[in-house]
């Protein structure tokens, strides 16, 4: 191999090494820039900053010799059996567990074991229809119609229970109109618009104006 061919090969190797070195330097620069990113020079949240120290909350309450949990003499809030349950469901055995002899319906129990479940009633809307009848007088042949209640003024309307709940959610619990509307839709299937809720709140405020004035 002559010196000219050897020099050409060396030049080619040097060019390949220079290209590899340039690529490596570019990758190192990108990784360095990535490591130096923080919430000030990028879109990262401040929680990802390496220099950010997590704040540890320290209780201001002094240490006590008491054991954790309920203390002696503390009145608990365990559910108690109700003396007047709303619904009683009887579970009778149909046959004897030993000889399989069927029990008679008129046979009385010799002992009763009780367990109670405290729960909410089914959440559903009750539709009350008011019908005003018209009668014809047998004496003068004139027609007379029964009167609707004073608060029933429209063919279809929301009752006082729904209106009270809407006022409670907005005025007492400070729940926004959209969330109140979603609450009523999820639990009761009601599709009240924000405008309807606003009108309910407005009418309630008008009814309270005399009381507020006296206060």
Q: What is the pLDDT of residue 69?
A: 65
Distance of CA 34 to the CA centre of its chain: 41
Distance of CA 97 to the CA centre of its chain: 46
Q: What is the pLDDT of residue 38?
A: 66
83-103 burial code (b ≥16 CB/10 A, e <16): eeeeeeeeeeeeeeeeeeeee
Give CA separation, 160 vs 102, 137, 155, 167, 204, in Å. Answer: 52, 35, 15, 10, 11
Distance CA 168, CA 176 (A): 12
Q: For 62, how many CA atoms within 13 A lie in the half-sphere containing its CB?
A: 2
Q: What is the pLDDT of residue 197?
A: 94
Name 188's Cβ contacts closer than 8 Å, sequence gap at least 6: 123, 124, 125, 162
Q: What is the pLDDT of residue 45?
A: 60
Between CA 21 and CA 28, with CA 25 as vertex, the angle to 5 degrees is 140
**For residue range 141-175, what is the model confidence (pLDDT) as tens digits?**
999 999 999 999 999 999 999 999 999 999 999 99
Mean pLDDT by 10 residues, the chain (215 residues): 74 84 82 71 58 62 69 72 94 94 93 93 93 95 95 95 95 93 93 93 91 87
**For residue range 70-98, what is the model confidence (pLDDT) as tens digits?**
666 666 678 899 999 999 999 999 999 99
Name 149's Cβ contacts closer than 8 Å, sequence gap at least 6: 130
Q: What is the pLDDT of residue 44?
A: 55
Distance of CA 205 to the CA centre of its chain: 27
pTM for this model (two decimals): 0.56
Q: What is the pLDDT of residue 29?
A: 79
Domain residue extents for the chain: 3-46, 134-145+155-214
């Amino acid at each position: 191999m002559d010196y000219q061919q050897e020099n050409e090969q060396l030049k080619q190797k040097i060019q390949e090494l220079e290209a590899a070195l340039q690529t490596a330097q570019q990758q190192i620069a990108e990784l360095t820039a990535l490591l130096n990113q923080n919430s000030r020079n990028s879109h990262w949240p401040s929680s990802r900053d390496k220099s950010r120290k997590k704040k540890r909350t320290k209780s201001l309450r002094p240490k006590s010799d008491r054991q954790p949990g309920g203390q002696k003499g503390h009145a608990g809030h365990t559910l108690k059996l109700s003396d007047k349950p709303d619904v009683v469901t009887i579970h009778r055995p149909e046959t004897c567990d030993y000889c399989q002899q069927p029990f008679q319906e008129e046979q009385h129990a010799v002992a009763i074991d009780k367990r109670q479940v405290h729960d909410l009633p089914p959440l559903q809307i009750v539709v009350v229809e008011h019908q005003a009848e018209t009668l014809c007088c047998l004496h003068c042949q004139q027609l007379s119609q029964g009167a609707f209640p004073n608060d029933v003024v429209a063919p279809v309307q929301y009752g006082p229970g729904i209106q009270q709940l809407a006022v409670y959610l907005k005025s007492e619990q400070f729940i926004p109109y959209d969330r109140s509307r979603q609450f009523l839709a999820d639990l009761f299937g009601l599709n009240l618009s924000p405008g309807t809720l606003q009108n309910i709140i407005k009418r309630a405020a008008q009814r309270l104006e005399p009381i507020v004035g006296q206060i």
